[in-house]
Structure 1
Amino acid sequence: MSTTVKTASGYAVAWAGVLTNANPWHFGEHVVATVVGRDAAGAEVVRMDQPLDAVPPGGSLPFSGQASASEKPAKVTIEYRPAQWRPAARIASAFRQFPVSGVQTLKQKDGSYLITGYVDNPYSLPASSLVVNALLRDAAGKLVGGGYAFVDDVRAGEPPRFILTVEGLPEGARVARTEVVARTWGSTGRPYEELALGGAVPVHTVLPTTEPFAVDRGRTVLPGDKP
């Protein structure tokens, strides 16, 4: 989706979208989104090449951006430069999502939205930097806006807070739902891959306090075995 808003110096063109990688074994790297705005006569009034983060195997990539234009575009298109495919070192399930919690969406007096929350790291190694993308949708699920922010040095069990602002929503847009996704950033999947190769944090970290069973209850006693 894209929106155009009048500013003091011209027009602000904002966009948001989701790029999906259906390939279960390869990273989609060095992807570039080309955003072009044209006036009613078809003349180009704004163009921007936006390098996107690598898309993990079987995963998706929310993204957003903004550019300035001297004239109001009548139509905005978003196209993609073909990705370069690289085999992943782990299976798709090894690339776990970064847990996001405590998300709050607050509408401001100027019509923008303030999004806050916390992002955690499911891996044993600390994540040097993560990008947090927020997508705003209306009651019908239509994408109406998006924004992003960065958080650094994210360690397991120590979730830092993120704050981001989404501006330039269409006039009359009503936000019903906010989707927040965090992931590593960069044109290659190396940072994500290094975290996955380092291993995830164990789900159970506390030893059991009860005594073990004298006989394994899940064991089937075969003829001739002692009970």
Structure 2
Amino acid sequence: MAAATLLAGCGGDEPQRKQTLKPLVIREQTSSVTQGTGGYVVTWAGVISNPNRWYFGENVAATVVGRDAVGKEVVRMEQPLDAVPPAGSLKFTGQAMASARPVDVKVTYKPAQWRQAARIPSAFVPFPISAAITEKLGNGSYLVTGAVGNPYQKAATSLVVTALLRDKDGRLVGGASTYVDDVHAGTPRRFVLTVDSLNGAGQVARTDITARTWGSSGRPYEELAMSGALPPSTVKPKTPPFARDRGYQAMPVDRRP
């Protein structure tokens, strides 16, 4: 889907120009099926990137279809996805129940609707993640905990935290998401989530954790950016200075005649 639109560079970042909008790019996706209570649990995770520097990708949706060994459809789910920020990416996860075991799971995507952002891309500062810990549980699941912060002056009413698990080769093996509400600047909020259905996926070596605003529209993220990001910390250090600069090294004296 492409459209020619006259862009106005915001804040002097770029001059006015015409840009052809490019479709969202599916960077990664994975799915798994495990036996659950009363059926089969189908889980999936993926990464979508937005190559358009000045536009939000909105009203994106994923369709998940699972079929059994004879080709019969045993599960279908339409999943609305959150808005994809300009020149950014969307990490997402999902889960559904199937009456019979699917042997083939496919995820397709509805094209995005485009809306020009009111701020330059650098104004959309990512939400910082701290104190992240990934712990393997005894049933093949993983517990992921940590804290998400808000770099903006305005409070974030609702954020989605997504954890993607990867093996030693960097391959995506699964993930899960949770919600955190009312995140104020300077007051990180704790999150806890469990990634299930990873039996047989191999050892998890790395966890990628991101947070984003919730909803199919980019306006919540845009409103945060318009409130302004917090300035760098200017609090004076509370510890005494070193008696001697540990990084100091005297230059050798030039004794040439």
The corresponding residue for 1:28 is 57
Helix, strand or coil at the partner of 1:193: helix
Shift of 1:172: 4.5
Equivalence map 1:188-227=2 (5 Å): 188-206=217-235
Aligned mates of 2:144, 2:211 — CA distance in 1? 13
Mapping for residues 44-193 of structure 1, pairs under 5 Å? 44-193=73-222
8 Å contact kept, 2:63–2:107: yes
Residue in structure 2 matched with residue 17 of structure 1 by the alignment? 46
User: TM-score, length-normalised on structure 2?
Assistant: 0.79
How far apart, in 1, do the equivalents of 2:110 and 2:86 lie? 18
Residues 131 and 182, structure 1, Cα contact 8 Å, conserved in 2:
yes
Mark the runs of 5 or more structure 1 residues left unpaired by the alignment. Answer: 208-227
Q: Distance in 2 between matches of 1:92 and 1:169?
A: 36
SS of equivalent residue, structure 2 residue 126 = coil
Shift of the alpha carbon at 1:169? 1.1
In structure 2, C-alpha distance between the alignment counterparts of 1:135 and 1:206, rounded to whole Å:
34
CA distance in 2, matches of 1:81, 1:24: 20
Q: Name the aligned partner's letter for residue 32 of structure 1.
A: A
Measure the CA separation in 1 of the matches of 2:76 and 2:201.
27
Query: Does the Cα contact within 8 Å between 2:31 and 2:45 map onto a contact in 1?
Result: yes
State the shift of 1:111 in Å: 1.3
SS in 2 for 1:192: helix
The amino acid across from 1:178 in the alignment is: T
Choose 125-134 or 34-43, whichever is displaced more: 34-43
The count of residues paired between Structure 1 and Structure 2 equals: 207
Cα displacement (A) at 1:8: 2.6
> C-alpha displacement at 1:156, in angstroms?
1.2
Query: Quick one: percent identity of the two aligned structures?
Result: 61
User: Greater relative contact order (Cα 8 A, min sep 6): structure 1 or 2?
Assistant: 1
- Aligned partners of 2:173 and 2:201 also within 8 Å: no
